[in-house]
A and B are shown apart, each in its own frame.
Chain A
């Protein structure tokens, strides 16, 4: 029997905002979220800022500890077997996040060493992978601070690819990119699935992107997973024509609606 790539059961995460000198006000970033992702699947989770998407990604990346529930990656407990899980997972987030004075090649070397790649391997692999993501060879030695946002995101993709993850967590990887860079990132995501048999969890608020790339689409709203189904099933269930309309019917709000104070607080943490 095949073990699911991701199994999340009743996962809870609460953050606290200080209130006065000793008081603390809790805000649930994730509220008993359960989901399963099969190996090789691409699942997109939609949601506004502060809906809990990044919290879910951070929990699966071993960067947060939960307040309840459990999560497994290829059968391994994310919180008790974190070191094994870290070998299987990598992540690309909205911020490219590099040492800005170091070059693309130096930043990739640093990341690769933590995954056990020796200098002889990185000398061979880094140029190959940078070429694959369309990064010009002539700029490998240039400091990251001199690269455009699109170029930096290519290096972020190369960093993820370098460690051969079997589960790729993508947290708004195309937010803020120009249309061409966005297209390149989306092509890369398709390639990762087709060539590397990678399982992908894509968190985004771009509904079109979710529809184009994912086998199933979920909606996370104020920490609760309202649905996780193929797009056609979502549209049927809510008797609407677009995911945006489905969001409106499911939540009673539009994506652009003004946020409450509680939403603003949640956005800071989740």
Chain B
């Protein structure tokens, strides 16, 4: 139907001319809001960081109990540390992207956000961008704290390559996070907790604290489609022996990212449609 109203004409022209600009401002708005919230909850975030450091130390201290020489022990500690840091990084990405729905539902703002004209991909990617930036800062802090506390020696570490690989892996992590972000839409009561299940499943097959080769054969096959496998493998080499970005780690991550982002968006779109059909956006349970 062609609209002859002034409102209609203005809207069409507005949409055509400014859609890209408006979407970018929307993306900035999501990141900006998360910065505001981080500032307001800074002390809580610091307490949570302390918990993550303690948790990582618990894992890394396991290496101290193994009867091996100093050099081997240092290597084992570093491997466990990389596993712990990536676990924490992935946890933050899943937590923040899942909060796209969960936090807004808790605050009661979800309906206002979902009736705004920003597109859902931009909304979700905005959450992902913030999650990666915040997660990288946090991962670096956990790494530095544990290295300093235990006295791990990583003289050859290639931090630039490690951060670059983590950033590439983040594309896939965000895609998976988008799929779990839909869970609080489907189940307001239990959806958020199910996000942690996805995180746990991804890491159990990815060799977080052990080589993938110790897993049963079928799990090793599953490990091949987990982005965490390549992030862990690459990061360990980069931190232990100063390796650069290896194409063997990068291309699987790019392929998984190219699949997981559109798949994540499609899953979220289907979940949003279900929630709108069943009236689940309203419920604050």
Give 1 or 0 for each of B11-35: 1 = CB within 8 Å of chain A CB.
1101100100110011011101100
A76–B117 contact, CB under 8 A? no
Give 1 or 0 for each of A81-109: 1 = CB within 8 Å of chain B CB.
00110111101010101111110001001
What chain A residues lie within 8 Å of B41 (beta carbons)? 101
A101–B4 contact, CB under 8 A? no
Query: B214 at the A/B interface (Cβ < 8 Å)?
Result: no
Query: B218 at the A/B interface (Cβ < 8 Å)?
Result: no
Query: B108 at the A/B interface (Cβ < 8 Å)?
Result: yes
Q: A39-B5, A143-B40 given as contacts; is B11 within 8 A of A64 (CB)?
A: no
A101 CB → nearest B CB, Å = 4
Determine the distance from Cα of A166 to Cα of B108 in the docked complex, in whole angstroms. 24
What chain B residues lie within 8 Å of A97 (beta carbons)? 107-109, 111-112
B273–A75 contact, CB under 8 A? no
A75–B8 contact, CB under 8 A? yes
Q: A75-B2, A97-B112, A114-B117 given as contacts; is B279 within 8 A of A15 (CB)?
A: yes
B240-278 residues with Cβ-Cβ distance < 8 A to A are: 273, 276-278
A100–B5 contact, CB under 8 A? no
Give the interface SS of chain B, mostly helix, strand, loop or mixed.
helix
Determine the distance from Cα of A91 to Cα of B12 in the docked complex, in whole angstroms. 21
B115–A113 contact, CB under 8 A? no
What chain A residues lie within 8 Å of B18 (beta carbons)? 116
What chain A residues lie within 8 Å of B109 (beta carbons)? 97-99
Determine the distance from Cα of A193 to Cα of B148 in the docked complex, in whole angstroms. 64
Determine the distance from Cα of A86 to Cα of B25 in the docked complex, in whole angstroms. 16
Query: A255 at the A/B interface (Cβ < 8 Å)?
Result: no
Q: A88-B7, A116-B22, A159-B112 given as contacts; is B107 within 8 A of A98 (CB)?
A: yes
Determine the distance from Cα of A65 to Cα of B15 in the docked complex, in whole angstroms. 23
A86–B112 contact, CB under 8 A? no
Q: Which of B4, B18, B273 has the most CB of A within 10 A?
A: B4
Query: A58 at the A/B interface (Cβ < 8 Å)?
Result: yes
Tier of interface size on chain A: 35 or more
Determine the distance from Cα of A87 to Cα of B5 in the docked complex, in whole angstroms. 14
Q: How many residues of B contact A (CB 8 A)?
A: 44
B281 CB → nearest A CB, Å = 5
Q: A65-B276, A97-B107, A116-B26 given as contacts; is B119 within 8 A of A83 (CB)?
A: yes
A63–B111 contact, CB under 8 A? yes
Query: A35 at the A/B interface (Cβ < 8 Å)?
Result: no
A117–B25 contact, CB under 8 A? yes
What chain B residues lie within 8 Å of A117 (beta carbons)? 25
Q: A61-B115, A100-B107, A113-B25 given as contacts; is B33 within 8 A of A1 (CB)?
A: no
Query: B118 at the A/B interface (Cβ < 8 Å)?
Result: yes
Q: Residue of A at shortest CB range from B123?
A: A114
A73 CB → nearest B CB, Å = 9
B33–A74 contact, CB under 8 A? no
Query: B66 at the A/B interface (Cβ < 8 Å)?
Result: no
Determine the distance from Cα of A116 to Cα of B11 in the docked complex, in whole angstroms. 13
B13 CB → nearest A CB, Å = 11
Q: A39-B5, A72-B1 given as contacts; is B37 within 8 A of A87 (CB)?
A: no
Determine the distance from Cα of A113 to Cα of B8 in the docked complex, in whole angstroms. 22
| Pairs across A and B, CB under 8 Å, 6 listed | A64-B277, A77-B1, A84-B12, A88-B11, A110-B36, A113-B30
- Known interface pairs A15-B279, A63-B115, A74-B3; 18 further A-B residue pairs with C-beta atoms within 8 A, sorted by A's residue number: A16-B278, A61-B115, A62-B115, A64-B277, A75-B1, A75-B5, A76-B3, A83-B117, A83-B119, A89-B115, A99-B33, A102-B36, A113-B28, A113-B30, A114-B29, A116-B18, A117-B25, A159-B112
A binding-site residues for B, Cβ under 8 Å: 1-3, 15-16, 39, 54-55, 58, 61-65, 72, 74-77, 83-84, 86-89, 91, 93, 95, 97-102, 106, 109-118, 143, 159, 166, 269
Q: Which 4 A-B pairs have the closest CB atoms?
A: A113-B29, A116-B22, A75-B3, A114-B116
B binding-site residues for A, Cβ under 8 Å: 1-5, 7-8, 11-12, 14-15, 18, 21-22, 25-26, 28-30, 32-33, 36-37, 40-41, 107-109, 111-119, 273, 276-279, 281-282
